[in-house]
Chains A and B, each alone.
Chain A
Amino acid sequence: MIALHDILHISVRQVFRQRRRSLGVVLAVALGTSSLITMLTLGDQLKHDMNRDLDLLGGATVILAGFTTSTDTTAAPQSFLPETVEAIRALPEVESASVATDYVDWLALYWRGKTTATPLLGVDEHYWHTSSLAAIKGRLFGAQEVEAGERVCVLGEELAKNLFDTEDPVGQYLPIRTEVFKIIGVVGGLQVGDRKKFALLPLTSAVRRSNGTMRADRLMVRCRAWDGVLSVGAAIPGIVAQHQNPKFLKVDIAAKQLERVISMIWWIQLFVAVSIAATLTVGGFGIWNGMMSSVIARTREIGLKKAMGAEQCDILAQFLCEALTLSLSAALIGIVLAFIVVQTAGAYLQDKPSMALFFLNAGISFVFSAVLGVATGFYPALRAARMDSVAAIRYE
């Protein structure tokens, strides 16, 4: 067979000279390749973001667990032990887990001449992230304050407004039962819900000062993505059983919400995959069709080359290399397009996509395009190679 550099040179030159004819095909394959790389690179990030957005709407990835002893009055009250919670937190699908009190103590708080109904809730330092709550004023209490059982509290935004109106509540002191708690922050935002009326105390402070009515018997687990919810939900009873008595444990999963989310995502993924496959198939057929047309249009050229002493493998290699040149140039354009899209999307999503993952996916797409080029170019190339020399020379 002729030298590799000659085959490459001839093929690239030929494709370049016929670039107008091949432009549509190259663009189709390039779009398919760039979509493939983008989806593979940003898939996890998009999933995470979609997960977060869906959580804001319905909390599909949050699992609630608790000890419900109300049906058996003789049963000893139970709380989640720290080692149980740590074991659940260590699951790879778990993003965060928080312990809180189940019982909400409705306190008639007399303050500045008026009585305000104030529900009290004890939560640990992980509660904020697990519940997607953020401080709109001041700050939220952390691990040290929870561990020490400090007398600090965070108010819901509505409660803060009722008690302090336009005055800044942060730094003020609030009398709760017989003790005074320092207000360190106010929570609000989309996810706050009914908790806008709550006073949130460190878990230990609430439990110690509740005369046994408040216990750490409520667990909230946030999963990294919806596809981990079922497995985490199934694993919780076993983990609890390894560390404490699991009797009266109840695990709640937003099954219907989850099912709908999974179904919706499945359809989206299917639609995207079908679109990419369709684009690449159209591109592949384009290469095949373009190469077949090229073989017919260049029949006389093939005959002349055979008369000059070209072997079948020379002709086969040239046409195959032309198909490869088309598909690989499309892949290169696709990779550049994907790079731009990934960088732009990364900036929009405020996240830096993994370049290692991008280059891995670019490599996979490049190999895929090479396979596409060979698969679609082989038959036209074989047809050219096997063409009858005399008929080819006489072709008009």
Chain B
Amino acid sequence: MNKKDAIVRIEALRKTYATTAENIDVLCGVNLDLHAGEMVAIMGPSGCGKSSLLHIIGLLAPPTAGRYTILGHDMFGLSEDRQAAFRREYLGFILQSCNLFEHSSVYENLEYPLIYARVPLAMRRQTIEQALGRVGLTHRIDYPTNRLSGGEQQRVAIARALVNNPKVLLGDEPTGQLDKGTSDMVMEYFQQIVREHDTTMLIVTHDPAVAKRCTRAFTMQKGQLVAIS
């Protein structure tokens, strides 16, 4: 892979949290290229800055300095509404469990990204069925989410992240609260999606088993990414 193929490019990215007592540098000049069809894991102890990096890549938090592009578009200096538009078009988030909307059906959970992307009502059901088909849950489309198992709930969350066909999937410990069996199954879905749809995936995890399944893995040390061989 060369530099031209990078979907996401981060150069000299810095993030400093200012407190009354001191300034805490959590990211100190991070460089990272994410390419189509690869799955990258970032590991590290709690508070090392891996989630901060994920939030910056997900346009949920601003960096202090550096350069960040998605498909060549500079992400710095965008208004909040433009950032939201990029999130709708290019990014999909999968968080730890319990990130589905309560008292809602599977359909309703998957409908929200489509609503925000202004997808016409007539096209939504078919689009949602396709997304659920990727995780094998089409039959659960009208099922209340609080009656699904933990593994099914996380598969619905994956389907929701995929429903807009994002270029980049961002997972913040997506298997963190799942048992090993369910975790393996979810990781298989991730691998399948990345392989079949040429999607780029960045996963923040504590679990070495998850990192092993990724194309590349990094650990965050003193605000820098260090590749794990």
Contacts from A to B (Cβ < 8 Å): 2-3, 5-6, 10, 13, 17, 300-301, 304-314, 389-390, 393
Contact = CB atoms under 8 A, between A and B. Distances in A.
Contacts of A389: 55, 60-61
Given A2-B116, A2-B118, A390-B55, A309 B85 contact: yes
A308 B115 CA distance: 10
A34 to B, nearest CB: 31
Nearest to A307: B93
Contacts of B95: 304, 393
Contacts of A312: 80-81
B112 A307 contact: no
A306 B121 CA distance: 21
9 contacts: A304-B95, A307-B93, A308-B93, A309-B84, A309-B87, A309-B91, A309-B116, A389-B55, A390-B55
Contacts of A304: 93, 95, 99, 101
A221 B55 CA distance: 83
Contacts of B89: 309
B174 interface: no
B37 interface: no
B57 to A, nearest CB: 12
Nearest to B100: A304
Given A301-B101, A304-B101, A310 B116 contact: yes
Given A300-B99, A306-B84, A2 B115 contact: yes
B60 A393 contact: yes
A306 B99 CA distance: 13
A312 B82 CA distance: 11
A300 B61 CA distance: 16
Interface string B34-58: 0000000000000000000001001
A314 B81 CA distance: 10
Contact of B117 (A306, A309, A313): A309
Q: Which 7 A-B pairs have the closest CB atoms?
A: A309-B88, A389-B60, A309-B87, A309-B116, A307-B93, A308-B113, A311-B84
A307 B116 contact: no
A5 B108 CA distance: 15
B103 interface: yes
A303 B121 CA distance: 24
A309 B113 contact: yes
Contacts of A10: 115
B88 A390 contact: no
Contacts of A393: 60, 95
Interface centre among A17, A301, A309 (most CB of B within 10 A): A309
Interface centre among A305, A308, A313 (most CB of B within 10 A): A308
Contacts of B58: 307
Contact of A307 (B87, B117, B121): B87
Given A313-B81, A390-B60, 16 more contacts: A2-B116, A6-B121, A300-B99, A304-B93, A305-B112, A307-B58, A307-B60, A307-B87, A308-B160, A309-B84, A309-B91, A309-B113, A309-B116, A310-B84, A314-B116, A390-B61
A150 to B, nearest CB: 82
A43 B99 CA distance: 54
